[in-house]
Amino acid sequence: EPEVTQTPSHQVTQMGQEVILRCVPISNHLYFYWYRQILGQKVEFLVSFYNNEISEKSEIFDDQFSVERPDGSNFTLKIRSTKLEDSAMYFCASSEAVGKETQYFGPGTRLLVL
């Protein structure tokens, strides 16, 4: 069964450093998403991406965040200058279309900012 993959599984970084989280969505999917889950809290939407541009973004997704699809397979989330409160699990998801289509989640990258 096709699945979303994410690398790395864990990332530890110093406050103020830049991190790039990588995702490979399911190959025939056209819509890509990033979510985050702070430990003990709910999953929160960050951004959706389609046709090489952002479709929707939440208030969490401020100027320190950016997304990119640098090639035909990868989808990345960059955090420019990490803060302690960016420590969370970051999930990538993809779907074949929007509307009622299911979003399939990757296993996540656990980011710890020290």
Identify any residues that bridge with 18 across adjacent strands, giving them in sequence order.
none
Q: Residue 85 in 3-state DSSP?
A: helix
Rounded Cα gap, residues 65 and 20, in angstroms: 10
Q: Closer to other proteins at the Cβ: 10 or 80?
A: 10
Q: Closer to other proteins at the Cβ: 19 or 104?
A: 104
Q: Residue 8 in 3-state DSSP?
A: coil
| Matching residue, tokens 């299911």 | 102
By the criterion CB under 8 A, which residues form the site for other proteins?
Answer: 31, 33, 35, 41-45, 48, 50, 55-56, 58, 89, 91, 95, 98-100, 102-108
Q: How far is the CB of 65 from other proteins (least distance, A)?
A: 16
Q: Closer to other proteins at the Cβ: 44 or 76?
A: 44
Q: How far is the CB of 107 from other proteins (least distance, A)?
A: 5
Per the CB < 8 A criterion, the answer to whether 76 and 70 are in contact is: yes
Q: How far is the CB of 50 from other proteins (least distance, A)?
A: 8
Rounded Cα gap, residues 31 and 109, in angstroms: 19
Rounded Cα gap, residues 21 and 55, in angstroms: 19
Q: Closer to other proteins at the Cβ: 76 or 110?
A: 110
